[in-house]
Amino acid sequence: MATTVEAAPDDLVAALRLPVWNTLSERADAIRRALPPRPETPQGRFEWLRSLSPEQARRAASWTAWTPSAGTSQA
């Protein structure tokens, strides 16, 4: 039988913060690379969004929802 060790919530948060951040960053980078560059202007972003396939639009929505730098164009 395995022994369970309880960690303090702050210790658990500290232990998971970097791995979770890295995983989410990698996912955002993969989504960003899979999409065409996002224009700077509102009109350009509107046209960009309308040009996406349904799958690309779904991925773009999930990426822009939590990415603070989503308003910048990608290289």
Buried-state track 17-56, b at ≥16 Cβ within 10 A, e below 16: eeeeeeeeeeebeebbeebeebeeeeeebeebeeeeeeeb
User: Is pLDDT above 50 for 28?
Assistant: yes
Residues 6 or more apart in contact with residue 62 via CB below 8 angstroms = 31
Is residue 32 within 8 A of residue 74, CB to CB? The reply is yes
Q: What is the pLDDT of residue 75?
A: 39
Which pLDDT belongs to residue 47? Answer: 94
The three-class DSSP label of residue 41 is: coil
pLDDT score of 1: 57
Residue type, 24: L
For the chain, percent of residues with pLDDT exceeding 70: 76
